[in-house]
């Protein structure tokens, strides 16, 4: 399973960015291989509008099954939900802490319209 987390770091010890659409990037973690890669999101940070939608479309293209972030706007949420990607809200400080909470089943799935 591919899990995407919002961050500015390419490390599991990196800080979780609480924003979705305007996060500096995304750490894509593969639970099967335990490998990760960083996907830059710089093109959406300065976008006047549509940052969340474009970021969500980029996440869909990775084949991810879930996203962990601080917040996700309603338009991005719709794009992700329509692609059957689960969204979890996390208030931990690091990506690694979010993964631990996900693995422990303590993260709450964000509900919304699809």
pLDDT in tens, the chain (114 residues): 999 999 999 999 999 999 999 999 999 999 999 999 999 998 887 777 888 999 999 999 999 999 999 989 999 999 999 999 999 999 999 999 999 999 999 999 998 754
Cβ distance 5 to 69 under 8 Å? yes
- How many angstroms separate the Cα of 77 from the Cα of each of 30, 31, 94? 22, 23, 22
């Amino acid at each position: 399973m591919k899990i995407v987390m919002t961050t500015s770091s390419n490390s599991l010890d990196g800080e979780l960015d609480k924003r979705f659409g305007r996060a500096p990037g995304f750490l894509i973690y593969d639970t099967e291989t335990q490998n990760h890669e960083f996907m830059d999101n710089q093109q959406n940070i300065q976008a006047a509008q549509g940052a969340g939608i474009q970021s969500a479309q980029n996440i869909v293209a990775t084949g991810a099954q879930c996203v962990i972030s601080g917040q996700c706007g309603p338009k991005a949420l719709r794009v992700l939900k329509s692609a059957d990607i689960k969204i979890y809200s996390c208030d931990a400080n690091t990506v690694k802490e979010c993964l631990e909470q996900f693995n422990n089943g303590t993260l709450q799935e964000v509900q919304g319209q699809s």
